[in-house]
Structure 1
Amino acid sequence: MNNISALISVRVMGICLAVAALAGCATGRDVIAPKFDAAVNPAQGVPVRIEKVEDARIFQIKPGSPSTPSLMDDNLSDEAIRSRAIARKRNGYGMALGDILVPEGQTIASLTQTVVARAFRENGFRVVAPTDADYARATPVTVRVNKLWAWLEMGFVLGVSSNYEVVLTGPIGPLQQGLTVNGQIRETAMVVTESVWSGIISKSLEDMYTNLKSRIGTAKP
Protein backbone atom coordinates (compact mmCIF):
# COMPACT_ATOMS: atom_id res chain seq x y z
CA MET A 1 0.00 0.00 0.00
CA ASN A 2 1.51 3.37 -0.99
CA ASN A 3 1.57 6.41 1.28
CA ILE A 4 -1.47 8.07 -0.30
CA SER A 5 -3.60 4.92 -0.02
CA ALA A 6 -2.48 4.45 3.56
CA LEU A 7 -3.40 8.03 4.41
CA ILE A 8 -6.84 7.66 2.85
CA SER A 9 -7.43 4.42 4.74
CA VAL A 10 -6.47 6.04 8.02
CA ARG A 11 -8.70 9.05 7.41
CA VAL A 12 -11.70 6.91 6.42
CA MET A 13 -11.18 4.67 9.43
CA GLY A 14 -10.97 7.74 11.63
CA ILE A 15 -14.27 9.04 10.31
CA CYS A 16 -15.96 5.69 10.86
CA LEU A 17 -14.62 5.52 14.41
CA ALA A 18 -15.71 9.09 15.11
CA VAL A 19 -19.26 8.36 14.05
CA ALA A 20 -19.24 4.95 15.69
CA ALA A 21 -18.19 6.56 18.97
CA LEU A 22 -21.81 7.61 19.33
CA ALA A 23 -23.20 4.19 18.45
CA GLY A 24 -24.25 3.51 22.01
CA CYS A 25 -26.95 6.17 21.80
CA ALA A 26 -27.26 6.48 18.03
CA THR A 27 -30.23 4.14 17.72
CA GLY A 28 -32.44 6.17 20.05
CA ARG A 29 -33.82 9.67 19.85
CA ASP A 30 -31.81 12.67 21.02
CA VAL A 31 -33.08 16.12 21.92
CA ILE A 32 -31.11 19.27 21.12
CA ALA A 33 -31.84 22.89 21.98
CA PRO A 34 -30.75 25.25 19.18
CA LYS A 35 -29.82 28.72 20.40
CA PHE A 36 -31.55 31.72 18.88
CA ASP A 37 -32.26 35.00 20.64
CA ALA A 38 -35.72 36.49 20.28
CA ALA A 39 -36.32 40.24 20.10
CA VAL A 40 -38.69 42.60 21.86
CA ASN A 41 -41.21 44.73 20.01
CA PRO A 42 -40.30 48.33 19.26
CA ALA A 43 -42.30 50.92 21.20
CA GLN A 44 -43.86 52.14 17.96
CA GLY A 45 -44.21 50.50 14.60
CA VAL A 46 -46.52 49.07 11.96
CA PRO A 47 -48.36 46.12 13.53
CA VAL A 48 -48.15 42.73 11.84
CA ARG A 49 -49.60 39.42 12.93
CA ILE A 50 -48.14 36.05 12.04
CA GLU A 51 -51.37 34.23 11.31
CA LYS A 52 -49.95 30.84 10.47
CA VAL A 53 -46.65 28.98 10.26
CA GLU A 54 -47.05 25.80 8.22
CA ASP A 55 -44.49 23.01 8.46
CA ALA A 56 -44.59 21.86 4.83
CA ARG A 57 -41.42 19.78 4.89
CA ILE A 58 -41.70 16.54 2.92
CA PHE A 59 -40.59 13.40 4.77
CA GLN A 60 -39.79 10.19 2.95
CA ILE A 61 -39.32 6.55 3.92
CA LYS A 62 -35.70 5.53 3.27
CA PRO A 63 -34.84 8.55 1.08
CA GLY A 64 -31.93 8.35 -1.33
CA SER A 65 -30.23 11.36 0.26
CA PRO A 66 -29.71 12.17 3.97
CA SER A 67 -30.71 15.76 3.17
CA THR A 68 -34.31 14.54 2.78
CA PRO A 69 -36.19 14.38 6.11
CA SER A 70 -37.04 10.93 7.45
CA LEU A 71 -37.92 9.29 10.77
CA MET A 72 -36.76 6.12 12.50
CA ASP A 73 -39.17 3.19 12.23
CA ASP A 74 -40.65 5.00 9.19
CA ASN A 75 -43.22 6.48 11.55
CA LEU A 76 -44.11 9.45 9.37
CA SER A 77 -47.68 9.66 10.68
CA ASP A 78 -46.56 10.68 14.19
CA GLU A 79 -47.22 14.42 14.06
CA ALA A 80 -45.86 14.98 17.58
CA ILE A 81 -42.47 13.61 16.52
CA ARG A 82 -42.44 14.87 12.93
CA SER A 83 -43.15 18.46 14.00
CA ARG A 84 -40.04 18.40 16.24
CA ALA A 85 -37.69 16.40 13.98
CA ILE A 86 -34.65 18.35 12.83
CA ALA A 87 -32.07 15.69 11.84
CA ARG A 88 -31.27 11.98 11.69
CA LYS A 89 -28.22 10.26 13.16
CA ARG A 90 -26.17 7.84 11.05
CA ASN A 91 -23.55 5.20 11.66
CA GLY A 92 -20.08 4.96 10.14
CA TYR A 93 -21.51 3.47 6.94
CA GLY A 94 -24.09 6.22 6.48
CA MET A 95 -27.03 4.09 7.62
CA ALA A 96 -29.88 6.13 9.13
CA LEU A 97 -30.42 5.59 12.85
CA GLY A 98 -32.15 7.61 15.58
CA ASP A 99 -34.00 10.89 15.23
CA ILE A 100 -32.84 14.25 16.54
CA LEU A 101 -35.64 16.45 17.88
CA VAL A 102 -36.03 19.92 19.33
CA PRO A 103 -37.31 19.98 22.95
CA GLU A 104 -40.91 19.30 23.91
CA GLY A 105 -42.90 22.50 23.79
CA GLN A 106 -41.02 23.58 20.66
CA THR A 107 -41.61 22.69 17.03
CA ILE A 108 -39.94 23.55 13.76
CA ALA A 109 -42.86 25.91 13.13
CA SER A 110 -42.43 27.69 16.47
CA LEU A 111 -38.66 28.06 15.97
CA THR A 112 -39.28 29.55 12.54
CA GLN A 113 -41.90 31.91 13.94
CA THR A 114 -39.37 33.22 16.46
CA VAL A 115 -36.91 33.90 13.63
CA VAL A 116 -39.52 35.64 11.48
CA ALA A 117 -40.77 37.73 14.41
CA ARG A 118 -37.26 38.92 15.22
CA ALA A 119 -36.64 39.93 11.61
CA PHE A 120 -39.85 41.98 11.54
CA ARG A 121 -39.24 43.57 14.93
CA GLU A 122 -35.71 44.62 14.11
CA ASN A 123 -37.00 46.20 10.89
CA GLY A 124 -39.39 48.41 12.84
CA PHE A 125 -42.56 46.29 12.82
CA ARG A 126 -44.51 45.32 15.93
CA VAL A 127 -45.46 41.65 15.94
CA VAL A 128 -48.75 41.45 17.83
CA ALA A 129 -50.52 38.54 19.51
CA PRO A 130 -54.27 37.73 19.52
CA THR A 131 -54.52 39.31 22.97
CA ASP A 132 -53.21 42.68 21.73
CA ALA A 133 -55.71 45.47 21.11
CA ASP A 134 -54.56 46.12 17.55
CA TYR A 135 -54.44 42.48 16.48
CA ALA A 136 -57.50 42.77 14.23
CA ARG A 137 -56.06 45.67 12.23
CA ALA A 138 -52.53 44.26 12.04
CA THR A 139 -51.18 43.22 8.65
CA PRO A 140 -51.49 39.41 8.30
CA VAL A 141 -48.45 37.35 7.35
CA THR A 142 -48.31 33.61 6.70
CA VAL A 143 -45.17 31.49 6.71
CA ARG A 144 -44.51 28.16 5.02
CA VAL A 145 -41.47 26.10 6.01
CA ASN A 146 -40.39 24.04 3.01
CA LYS A 147 -37.03 23.03 4.44
CA LEU A 148 -35.27 23.03 7.80
CA TRP A 149 -33.12 19.96 8.25
CA ALA A 150 -29.59 18.89 9.19
CA TRP A 151 -27.69 15.82 8.04
CA LEU A 152 -24.36 14.04 8.21
CA GLU A 153 -22.10 13.92 5.15
CA MET A 154 -19.66 11.02 4.95
CA GLY A 155 -16.46 11.44 2.98
CA PHE A 156 -12.75 12.10 3.26
CA VAL A 157 -13.71 14.79 5.78
CA LEU A 158 -16.74 14.31 8.02
CA GLY A 159 -19.26 17.11 7.49
CA VAL A 160 -22.53 18.29 8.97
CA SER A 161 -24.90 20.37 6.84
CA SER A 162 -28.20 22.14 7.37
CA ASN A 163 -30.54 23.82 4.94
CA TYR A 164 -33.67 25.93 5.15
CA GLU A 165 -36.31 27.41 2.87
CA VAL A 166 -39.21 29.54 4.05
CA VAL A 167 -41.86 31.43 2.11
CA LEU A 168 -43.52 34.54 3.57
CA THR A 169 -46.76 35.89 2.12
CA GLY A 170 -48.70 39.01 3.01
CA PRO A 171 -49.76 42.48 1.78
CA ILE A 172 -46.34 43.98 2.46
CA GLY A 173 -44.07 45.07 -0.41
CA PRO A 174 -41.80 42.10 -1.21
CA LEU A 175 -44.17 39.61 0.45
CA GLN A 176 -47.11 40.25 -1.87
CA GLN A 177 -46.09 37.62 -4.44
CA GLY A 178 -44.50 35.38 -1.84
CA LEU A 179 -40.97 35.95 -0.58
CA THR A 180 -38.76 32.85 -0.64
CA VAL A 181 -35.63 32.82 1.51
CA ASN A 182 -33.25 29.87 1.56
CA GLY A 183 -29.73 28.90 2.48
CA GLN A 184 -27.37 26.11 3.48
CA ILE A 185 -24.65 25.83 6.11
CA ARG A 186 -21.87 23.23 6.20
CA GLU A 187 -19.18 22.52 8.78
CA THR A 188 -16.61 19.83 9.38
CA ALA A 189 -16.36 17.90 12.64
CA MET A 190 -14.12 15.29 14.22
CA VAL A 191 -16.94 13.80 16.29
CA VAL A 192 -20.64 14.56 15.79
CA THR A 193 -22.08 15.29 19.23
CA GLU A 194 -25.36 16.88 20.29
CA SER A 195 -23.58 20.23 20.55
CA VAL A 196 -22.49 19.93 16.90
CA TRP A 197 -26.08 19.28 15.79
CA SER A 198 -27.32 22.14 17.95
CA GLY A 199 -24.63 24.45 16.59
CA ILE A 200 -25.37 23.81 12.92
CA ILE A 201 -29.10 24.40 13.44
CA SER A 202 -28.43 27.56 15.44
CA LYS A 203 -26.30 28.89 12.59
CA SER A 204 -29.04 28.08 10.09
CA LEU A 205 -31.57 30.02 12.16
CA GLU A 206 -29.21 33.00 12.35
CA ASP A 207 -28.62 32.82 8.61
CA MET A 208 -32.36 32.66 7.99
CA TYR A 209 -32.85 35.71 10.20
CA THR A 210 -30.12 37.68 8.40
CA ASN A 211 -31.59 36.89 4.98
CA LEU A 212 -35.13 37.73 6.08
CA LYS A 213 -34.11 40.99 7.71
CA SER A 214 -32.37 42.14 4.54
CA ARG A 215 -35.33 41.31 2.30
CA ILE A 216 -38.63 42.00 4.06
CA GLY A 217 -38.10 45.75 4.04
CA THR A 218 -38.53 48.30 6.82
CA ALA A 219 -41.78 49.47 8.37
CA LYS A 220 -43.43 52.46 6.69
CA PRO A 221 -46.31 53.99 8.68
Structure 2
Amino acid sequence: MKKCLIVLLLTSVALLSGCVTGRRSVSLGVPQVTPGAVDKGAIQITSVADNREFQNNPLDASVPSINGDVSTMTPEQKSKMIGRQRNGFGKAMGDIALSNNESVPQRAQALVEAALKNAVIKSQPMAPRP
Protein backbone atom coordinates (compact mmCIF):
# COMPACT_ATOMS: atom_id res chain seq x y z
CA MET A 1 0.00 0.00 0.00
CA LYS A 2 2.83 2.36 0.85
CA LYS A 3 4.51 1.71 -2.52
CA CYS A 4 1.25 2.45 -4.38
CA LEU A 5 0.89 5.72 -2.50
CA ILE A 6 4.46 6.74 -3.38
CA VAL A 7 3.94 5.84 -7.05
CA LEU A 8 0.67 7.79 -7.12
CA LEU A 9 2.33 10.80 -5.48
CA LEU A 10 5.27 10.77 -7.92
CA THR A 11 2.92 10.42 -10.88
CA SER A 12 0.83 13.36 -9.66
CA VAL A 13 3.92 15.53 -9.22
CA ALA A 14 5.17 14.61 -12.71
CA LEU A 15 1.82 15.40 -14.34
CA LEU A 16 1.31 18.69 -12.50
CA SER A 17 4.84 20.03 -12.89
CA GLY A 18 4.32 21.53 -16.37
CA CYS A 19 6.73 19.82 -18.71
CA VAL A 20 8.39 22.01 -21.38
CA THR A 21 9.20 19.39 -23.98
CA GLY A 22 7.99 19.63 -27.55
CA ARG A 23 7.30 22.60 -29.79
CA ARG A 24 4.85 25.28 -28.79
CA SER A 25 3.34 27.73 -31.27
CA VAL A 26 2.41 31.25 -30.29
CA SER A 27 0.87 34.19 -32.11
CA LEU A 28 2.30 37.61 -31.30
CA GLY A 29 -0.10 40.50 -31.62
CA VAL A 30 0.89 44.00 -32.64
CA PRO A 31 -0.82 46.86 -30.82
CA GLN A 32 -3.04 49.01 -33.01
CA VAL A 33 -1.95 52.65 -32.91
CA THR A 34 -3.77 55.54 -34.52
CA PRO A 35 -1.13 57.78 -36.09
CA GLY A 36 -1.35 61.48 -35.35
CA ALA A 37 -1.14 64.36 -37.81
CA VAL A 38 2.58 64.87 -38.42
CA ASP A 39 4.14 66.99 -41.12
CA LYS A 40 7.80 66.65 -40.15
CA GLY A 41 8.71 63.97 -42.68
CA ALA A 42 8.33 60.28 -43.29
CA ILE A 43 9.95 57.13 -41.98
CA GLN A 44 10.10 54.07 -44.15
CA ILE A 45 11.27 50.58 -43.19
CA THR A 46 12.34 48.91 -46.41
CA SER A 47 13.49 45.54 -45.09
CA VAL A 48 14.17 43.60 -41.94
CA ALA A 49 16.91 40.95 -41.96
CA ASP A 50 17.04 37.98 -39.60
CA ASN A 51 20.76 37.54 -38.91
CA ARG A 52 20.40 34.97 -36.14
CA GLU A 53 22.74 31.99 -36.47
CA PHE A 54 21.28 28.81 -35.03
CA GLN A 55 23.61 26.23 -33.49
CA ASN A 56 23.24 22.64 -32.36
CA ASN A 57 23.51 22.34 -28.56
CA PRO A 58 25.21 25.69 -27.81
CA LEU A 59 26.91 26.15 -24.46
CA ASP A 60 25.47 29.66 -24.09
CA ALA A 61 21.70 29.75 -23.57
CA SER A 62 21.40 33.05 -25.49
CA VAL A 63 22.57 31.43 -28.77
CA PRO A 64 19.59 30.45 -30.96
CA SER A 65 19.05 26.71 -31.21
CA ILE A 66 16.34 24.16 -31.91
CA ASN A 67 15.49 20.73 -30.68
CA GLY A 68 17.16 18.66 -33.38
CA ASP A 69 19.67 19.27 -36.15
CA VAL A 70 19.83 22.90 -37.33
CA SER A 71 21.23 21.90 -40.74
CA THR A 72 17.99 20.08 -41.61
CA MET A 73 15.86 23.24 -41.26
CA THR A 74 15.03 25.48 -44.19
CA PRO A 75 15.48 29.26 -43.88
CA GLU A 76 11.68 29.58 -43.83
CA GLN A 77 11.43 27.18 -40.87
CA LYS A 78 14.19 29.05 -39.01
CA SER A 79 12.40 32.37 -39.57
CA LYS A 80 9.40 31.04 -37.63
CA MET A 81 11.47 29.96 -34.60
CA ILE A 82 11.55 32.26 -31.57
CA GLY A 83 13.73 30.29 -29.17
CA ARG A 84 14.05 27.42 -26.73
CA GLN A 85 12.25 26.65 -23.53
CA ARG A 86 14.49 25.83 -20.61
CA ASN A 87 13.83 24.03 -17.37
CA GLY A 88 14.76 25.26 -13.91
CA PHE A 89 18.32 23.99 -14.33
CA GLY A 90 18.85 25.83 -17.65
CA LYS A 91 18.63 22.70 -19.79
CA ALA A 92 17.03 23.25 -23.20
CA MET A 93 13.84 21.24 -23.47
CA GLY A 94 11.46 22.44 -26.18
CA ASP A 95 11.03 25.04 -28.90
CA ILE A 96 8.84 28.13 -29.24
CA ALA A 97 7.75 28.99 -32.77
CA LEU A 98 5.39 31.48 -34.37
CA SER A 99 2.11 30.05 -35.53
CA ASN A 100 0.50 30.20 -38.96
CA ASN A 101 2.39 32.09 -41.68
CA GLU A 102 4.11 34.55 -39.33
CA SER A 103 7.87 35.04 -39.29
CA VAL A 104 10.22 36.77 -36.85
CA PRO A 105 11.26 39.48 -39.38
CA GLN A 106 7.59 40.25 -40.16
CA ARG A 107 6.71 40.53 -36.46
CA ALA A 108 9.82 42.63 -35.74
CA GLN A 109 8.95 45.04 -38.58
CA ALA A 110 5.34 45.33 -37.42
CA LEU A 111 6.40 46.02 -33.81
CA VAL A 112 8.96 48.67 -34.85
CA GLU A 113 6.36 50.35 -37.08
CA ALA A 114 3.84 50.38 -34.21
CA ALA A 115 6.47 51.78 -31.82
CA LEU A 116 7.40 54.55 -34.28
CA LYS A 117 3.74 55.47 -34.80
CA ASN A 118 3.26 55.54 -31.04
CA ALA A 119 6.38 57.72 -30.60
CA VAL A 120 5.05 60.16 -33.20
CA ILE A 121 1.78 60.44 -31.31
CA LYS A 122 3.51 60.98 -27.97
CA SER A 123 5.96 63.52 -29.41
CA GLN A 124 3.20 65.89 -30.54
CA PRO A 125 3.75 69.32 -28.98
CA MET A 126 1.29 70.22 -26.28
CA ALA A 127 -0.87 73.30 -26.66
CA PRO A 128 0.49 76.29 -24.76
CA ARG A 129 -1.16 77.03 -21.45
CA PRO A 130 -3.06 80.30 -21.11
TM-score by length of 1: 0.41
Q: Does the aligned pair in 2 maintain the 1:39–1:118 contact within 8 Å? A: yes
1:34-183 correspondence runs (5 A): 34-45=28-39, 46-76=41-71, 77-91=73-87, 93-124=89-120
Which residue identity lines up with residue 82 of structure 2 in the other structure?
I
Q: After TM superposition, where is structure 1 displaced by more than 6 Å over at least 4 residues in a row?
A: none
Gaps of 5+ in 1: 1-16, 126-212
Q: Return the alpha-carbon distance in structure 1 between the equivalents of residues 58 and 112 of structure 2.
A: 29
Structure 2 Cα separation of the partners of residues 95 and 81 of structure 1: 23
Contact 1:28–1:99 under 8 Å retained in 2: yes
- State TM-score, norm by structure 2: 0.65
Cα RMSD (Å):
3.1
Q: Would you say how many aligned residue pairs link Structure 1 and Structure 2?
A: 110
Q: Which structure has the larger Rg?
A: 2
Cα distance between partner residues in 1 of 2:64 and 2:32: 26
Letter in 1 for 2:116: F
| Residue 123 of structure 1, CA deviation | 3.4
**Alignment map for 1:10-29 (pairs within 5 Å):** 21-23=17-19, 26-29=20-23
| Whole-Å separation in 2 of the counterparts to 1:124 and 1:93 | 43
Deviation at 1:91, TM superposition (A): 4.3
Q: 1:70 to 1:44 in 2, by over 3 A?
A: same
Greater RCO (Cα-Cα under 8 Å, separation 6 or more): 2
Bigger proportion of residues as strand: 1
Contact 1:38–1:115 (Cα < 8 Å) also in 2: no
Summarize the Cα distance change of 1:27–1:42 in structure 2 as closer, same or farther, 3 Å threshold. Answer: same
Cα deviation per residue 1:43-63 (whole Å; 9 max; x = unaligned)? Answer: 443222210001111211110
Identify the residue that residue 32 of structure 1 maps to in structure 2. 26
**% same residue:** 28
Q: Distance in 1 between matches of 2:118 and 2:93?
A: 39
Q: What is the alpha-carbon distance in structure 2 between the residues aligned to residue 48 and residue 74 of structure 1?
A: 40
Structure 2: tracts of 5 or more residues without a match: 1-12, 125-130
Map Cα deviations across residues 136-167 of structure 1 (whole Å, 9 max, x no partner). Answer: xxxxxxxxxxxxxxxxxxxxxxxxxxxxxxxx
Secondary structure of 1:104's counterpart equals coil
